């Protein structure tokens, strides 16, 4: 009975930004539960192909697909391609996003501001706008967005606009969930705290990381794999069929509702 609750056999799952970090771990998790996983990437082609190869080697089913979700029409093309290839799309995990670089608000250009919002929020909106009609036509589906602890804290140094974009993702999750609930589509989000991923390798200095870890009651950063269970839970109708519009915090106790 327990295994059936996380059985995604016959389901098609699209994970954006699935080549590294949380996205890669989530892609592997869905594949281990029987899903046909589509691993989206933009620049991380080699990493995405390694994720696919690992899934296939373990007996799962996966493929990779490239798209720059900051470009107009890219989300439509991506979703349409997945549906054309697999005939359906049951779960969308909107994981793609980035800080780009830490910049104080007074030093951020209009172009940087637009880039951060476009990558983290506009892409989520565009993916959902195209996926909802697909899922509606199938009789339902699940969307899991990836927001951030920064959405509630305002972010660490030089990440105010990133935090703002993630706050928008959380609000969008709450609102879209109510809008599409009558269609049998559930929309939730996970909100990771400080997770050991390439994100922090790019953007967080050692002193800044030490300061953040000092605020975590569990005394350590999280692992990408520790975000998988929550994502599978929110995507599973058997596990969370009466849950929608929620943001699930994964932060080692750093921030509690």
3-class SS of residue 7: coil
The neighbouring-strand residues paired with 130 are none
Mark whether 162 is an active-site residue.
yes
Q: Which of 41, 162, 172, 233 is catalytic?
A: 162
- Secondary structure in 3-state letters for 146-199: ECCCHHHHCCCCCCHHHHHHHHHHHHHHHHHHHHHHHHCEEEEEEEECCECCHH
Contact of 154 with 203, CB cutoff 8 Å: no
Catalytic residue set: 162
């Amino acid at each position: 009975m327990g295994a059936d609750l996380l059985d995604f056999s016959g389901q098609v799952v699209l994970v954006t930004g699935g080549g590294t970090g949380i996205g890669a771990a989530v892609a592997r998790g869905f594949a281990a539960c029987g899903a046909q996983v589509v691993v989206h990437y933009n620049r991380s082609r080699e990493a995405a192909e390694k994720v696919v190869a690992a899934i296939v080697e373990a007996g799962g089913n996966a493929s990779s697909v490239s798209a720059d979700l900051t470009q107009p029409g890219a989300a439509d093309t991506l979703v349409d391609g997945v549906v054309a290839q697999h005939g359906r799309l049951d779960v969308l995990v909107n994981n793609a996003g980035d800080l780009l670089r830490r910049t104080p608000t007074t030093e951020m250009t209009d172009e940087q501001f637009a880039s951060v919002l476009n990558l983290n929020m506009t892409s989520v909106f565009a993916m959902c706008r195209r996926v909802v009609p697909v899922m509606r036509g199938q009789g339902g589906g699940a969307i899991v967005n990836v927001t951030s602890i920064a959405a509630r804290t305002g972010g660490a140094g030089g990440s105010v606009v990133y935090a703002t974009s993630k706050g928008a993702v959380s609000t969008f999750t709450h609102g879209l969930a109510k809008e599409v609930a009558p269609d049998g589509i559930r929309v939730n989000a996970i909100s990771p705290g400080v997770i050991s991923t390439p994100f922090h390798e790019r953007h967080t200095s050692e002193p800044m990381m030490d300061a953040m870890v000092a605020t975590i009651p569990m005394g350590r950063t999280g692992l990408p794999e520790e975000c998988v269970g929550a994502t599978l839970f929110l995507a599973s109708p058997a596990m969370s069929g009466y849950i929608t519009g929620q943001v699930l915090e994964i932060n080692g106790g750093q921030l509690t509702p």
